[in-house]
Amino acid sequence: MAVAPPSYCFVAFPPRAKDGLVVFGKNSARPRDEVQEVMYFSAADHEPGSKVECTYISIDQVSRTHAIVISRPAWLWGAEMGANEHGVCIANEAINAREPAAETEALLGMDLVRLGLERGTTAKEALDVIVALLEEHGQGGNYYEDADSCHSFQSAYLIVDREEAWVLETVGKYWAAERIAEGVKCICNQLSLTTKIDAEHPELRSYAQSQGWWTGEDEFNFSKVFSSAEDHLDCCAGKDSIEKKEESITVQTMIDILRDKASGVCIDSETFLTTASVVSVLPQNRSLPCIHYFTGTPDPSRSIFKPFIFVDDVKLVPKARSPCFGDNDPAKKEPRFLEKPDRRHELYKAHEWARAVIESDQEQGRQLRKTMLELEKQGLEAMEEILTGSDPLDPTEVGDLFYDCVDTEIKFFK
């Protein structure tokens, strides 16, 4: 069974989070050399009977899809994490379970993240979208751009809006979910739901019984029933990181948690690296905008979190988008992944230089990191003013917000 990458997702609700804000965060741990791009797709209407081509399969399109911003491995269609115009955020975790994940190509967990964002106006609606598509199409296929072996996983999701969050954990088409509306929650690359289940697949328990995994007499504990024997039910690194914070959780607190290598939340191992990160702040006051901070680059401890706000006229950011290979992309041709094209975008290339400097030259590296954090601080302070100021948001001022931040970062590295 392939080793599931040790990613972490977090959410904090008031009063643990500050000032009536819901704070969401995710570190995406993936193979070290994989590039993630940050992509915006505007809302769109679709012709009846049209199809949408996901990573491996095509499915029926809906009549309207919402505007979304996502961070995704550049070779696939779906997303590791992202948000939509209605203030819904979703992140996914690859997990192993007692039942091995299917290698047959179907929907990837990451496709379901994007489909949930495109089709759900609330967290619960997005959950309903994901489980309906799971029932209809199943999940399966290679999670990595690797011709030599198929790394397939089951999926868990953290689905958040301004009011509530849902932890959704899936094994094949079977699933269980827990609703959260207070305190803090962390999910990682293992099943975490136990006996508190607020929604589930109608045949979940009978399936567990038919497999001999549950007697039907003891209390039903989802993780206990569906986890593989070698899994220790413990997301302790992430759980400790967020629970031990005594102060109110802010955007900065969440960024600090994601940057923490000592805790294991920020992964930098021989196999895996945190290849991208996101923090979102969702004000419970609906007159205020949700703000989403993406790195678009690996290792949050050496990256700048850059803000994005949904408005009608968002300026696209080609410098954070990987080259497009169209139908010649080795990920789209079968047999897949026979070649690995260079998927680095302009921001990634500029950032490679910065990472090398920080790693090699102590004084220059320290100065560089200091300036990077200063740039980030300016962005965070400007966003804080939007959330606390009395003036209404001017959409013309924020349509090119993420574009300008990426542009400034690249110029600074040069």
pLDDT of residue 225: 97
Tens-digit pLDDT profile for residues 35-51: 999 999 999 999 999 99
The amino acid sitting at 186 is C
Residue 240 neighbours by CB distance under 10 Å: 14
**% pLDDT > 90, the chain:** 91
Tens-digit pLDDT profile for residues 106-126: 999 999 999 999 999 999 999
**Mean pLDDT of the region 168-179:** 98
The pairing of strands 165-171 and 154-160 is antiparallel
CA distance 293 to 306: 5
**Mean pLDDT of the region 155-174:** 98
- DSSP strand E in 18-125: where? 21-31, 36-41, 44-45, 51-53, 58-60, 64-65, 68-73, 81-84, 89-95
Residue 234 neighbours by CB distance under 10 Å: 10
pLDDT of residue 234: 56
Active-site annotation holds for 186: no
Tens-digit pLDDT profile for residues 355-409: 999 988 789 999 999 999 999 999 999 999 999 988 889 999 999 999 999 999 9
**Mean pLDDT of the region 190-205:** 97
Considering the entire predicted model, what is its pTM?
0.98
Choose which CATH entry (3.30.450.80, 3.30.470.20, 3.60.60.10, 3.40.50.1000) describes domain 8-413. 3.60.60.10
Domain ranges in the chain are 8-413
Asked if the model's pLDDT at residue 299 lies above 60, the reply is yes
